Chain A
Amino acid sequence: MKKRKVIDHIEKALDRRLSDRIKDESSARLQHKSNTKKVLHEQRQVSAWLDMVSEIEPPSYLREKILQAIPQVRQKKRESLWTRIFGDHCRPAKQRIAYGMLMGFVLGMLIATTMFYLAARSNTLMEYMLTGSALFSQQFDSIESFELPIVAGELSWNIDSPNSMVRLSLRPNQPVTASLQFNPAEFQVSHFYQESWSGGGDVMVLPNSVRVNLPTANRFVFVIKHQAASYSPMVFKLMTSDSLLISKSLIVKEES
């Protein structure tokens, strides 16, 4: 028999789980395998010794001790957040650190909120952001001008032209990236131009968007032709190198 089978057989024999037929077969086989027989005897002997070890009753106080400890655990769990930081058992140094951190946090929040509101009052862009008012008209059937601290421009919807077009004109006073995303089934970039080509200006035209890195003080215009009866919103974004200034969803809609 293979070792695993022998072990399996021994365990079954110890559990008295062998059927009579297997018992007869195995006893006949064991006659020739003295080693297996020896191991089985050894295992039986040790099992018998182990069976002599009886269960011990736990001390009577143990149950009460456990049950008394449970409500304390429950209480401790409920209070843990506060007591672990500020509880009486805390060392004074730890308490001072905790109070300091809490005060620091409250002061920090106060300063941040004040600065945010002050900045908002003095900054047009922030005001736009706070009030949620639209930078452009949701339905721009005429020229929409906008004036930001760092960029001036206008977005127009020329409905009367032979080929209706969306025209975006920008003149930034610091480097800025502008992008316009649209559904290519509805719009198509027609052309773009800038005041001075010597000023640079990195233009990337994709089927569904146009993205321009505009240098300072150079007027840039891109023109998008529409080619459908109804339009999905276009997404216009203005970014500096490290922050997003505007992200607007523009709905182009012909006036009835």
Chain B
Amino acid sequence: MLPKRDEDLVRLCLLGEQNAYTELVDRYQKPIYNLALRMTNDQADAADVTQTTFIKAFEKLVTFKSYHHFFSWLYRIGINESINCLRKRRRFVPIPDASVSPGLQAGEGAAAAETAQLVQLALMHLNREYRLILILRHFHGLNYDDIAHMLNLSVNLVKVRLVTARRLLKNILIKMGMKDEKA
């Protein structure tokens, strides 16, 4: 049997089919969790954000317009929840969570894991808008149109922000001790 489209699952869910929403949770739990994790850099916060995102999406499911992609609608809720979470803890100094990236391993893997950890830390020093755009593009592989739609920006502005975000991230990483390979 062909997998059902998101929009079909939403429709079934609105008709009271409980398993439909379970399938949507299974489909998008991981991306939403990772989005929240990269935004908040905290596993507990990410889990809370993921849960709240799915609950809010369920509550607002009737307002979902079928001509939108479900995932971009859900991501938008996830983004808002992540931002709310960051606002709540704004007064606290962020403590890097070592568990966000895999721990150090032997050999080549160790270097990669260390880089990943540094990148995550550097991301947290980026402005929220730039961090978000990098997360959506690089970790979720969304195309420019989807990002533009999700963030309510033009496609060109998305591209400009991406270039700027990468440059800023590089500067932060260099400051954190990452080796710059000259062109």
Per-residue A-contact encoding for B26-44, CB less than 8 Å = 1, 0 else: 1001100110011000010
Interface residues in A42-81 (C-beta closer than 8 Å to B): 42-43, 45-47, 49-59, 62-63, 65-67, 69-70, 73-74, 77
Given the known A-B contacts A8-B159, A46-B169, A47-B138, are A56 and B34 also in contact in the complex, defined by CB atoms under 8 Å? yes
Min C-beta distance of B82 to chain A, whole Å = 14
**Bound complex: CA A77 to CA B60 (Å):** 11
Q: Is the CB of B55 within 8 A of A69?
A: yes
Q: Across the two chains, which residue of chain B brings its CB closest to A71?
A: B18
Q: Is the CB of B59 within 8 A of A38?
A: no
Chain A binder among B4-12, B46-54, B67-75, B84-92: B46-54
Per-residue A-contact encoding for B125-141, CB less than 8 Å = 1, 0 else: 00000000010001100
Q: Is the CB of A49 within 8 A of B115?
A: yes
Given the known A-B contacts A7-B160, A59-B47, are A42 and B170 also in contact in the complex, defined by CB atoms under 8 Å? yes
| Pairs A-B, 6 closest by C-beta atoms | A41-B183, A58-B33, A46-B166, A50-B138, A53-B116, A66-B54
**Bound complex: CA A76 to CA B102 (Å):** 39
Q: Is the CB of A52 within 8 A of B116?
A: yes
Q: Is the CB of B51 within 8 A of A62?
A: yes
**Bound complex: CA A10 to CA B156 (Å):** 12
**Bound complex: CA A7 to CA B181 (Å):** 21
Q: Is the CB of A56 within 8 A of B33?
A: yes
Q: Is the CB of A58 within 8 A of B50?
A: yes
Residues in B whose Cβ lies below 8 Å from that of A73 = 55, 58-59
Q: Is the CB of B100 within 8 A of A65?
A: no
Q: Is the CB of A58 within 8 A of B30?
A: yes
Which chain B residues have a beta carbon within 8 Å of chain A's beta carbons? 21-22, 25-26, 29-30, 33-34, 37-38, 43, 46-47, 50-51, 54-55, 58-59, 100-102, 112, 115-116, 119-120, 134, 138-139, 144, 156, 159-160, 162-163, 166-167, 169-170, 173, 178, 180-181, 183
Which of A45, A50, A59, A77 has the most chain B CB within a 10 Å cutoff? A50
Q: Across the two chains, which residue of chain B brings its CB closest to A41?
A: B183
Interface residues in A232-250 (C-beta closer than 8 Å to B): none
Q: Is the CB of B37 within 8 A of A56?
A: yes
Q: Is the CB of A38 within 8 A of B112?
A: no
From B26, B38, B134, B166, contact of A63 by CB (8 A): B26
Residues in B whose Cβ lies below 8 Å from that of A70 = 21, 54-55, 58
A11 at the interface (CB under 8 A from B): yes
Q: Can you list 23 contacts pairing A with B, beta carbon distance less than 8 Å?
A: A4-B156, A7-B156, A39-B163, A42-B167, A43-B163, A45-B170, A46-B169, A46-B170, A47-B138, A49-B169, A50-B119, A50-B139, A51-B138, A54-B102, A54-B116, A56-B100, A63-B25, A63-B29, A65-B51, A66-B54, A67-B25, A70-B21, A73-B55
Min C-beta distance of A58 to chain B, whole Å = 4
Q: Is the CB of B34 within 8 A of A55?
A: yes
A211 at the interface (CB under 8 A from B): no
Residues in B whose Cβ lies below 8 Å from that of A46 = 166-167, 169-170, 173
Which of B25, B120, B180 has the most chain A CB within a 10 Å cutoff? B25
Which of A8, A47, A53, A69 has the most chain B CB within a 10 Å cutoff? A53
Residues in A whose Cβ lies below 8 Å from that of B134 = 50
A225 at the interface (CB under 8 A from B): no
Q: Across the two chains, which residue of chain B brings its CB closest to A76?
A: B59
Which of A10, A38, A70 has the most chain B CB within a 10 Å cutoff? A70
Min C-beta distance of B4 to chain A, whole Å = 18
Q: Is the CB of A62 within 8 A of B183?
A: no
Residues in A whose Cβ lies below 8 Å from that of B181 = 45
**Bound complex: CA A78 to CA B183 (Å):** 62
**Bound complex: CA A70 to CA B134 (Å):** 31
**Bound complex: CA A57 to CA B47 (Å):** 11
Q: Is the CB of B29 within 8 A of A66?
A: yes
A37 at the interface (CB under 8 A from B): yes
From A37, A50, A67, contact of B22 by CB (8 A): A67
Q: Across the two chains, which residue of chain A brings its CB closest to B183?
A: A41
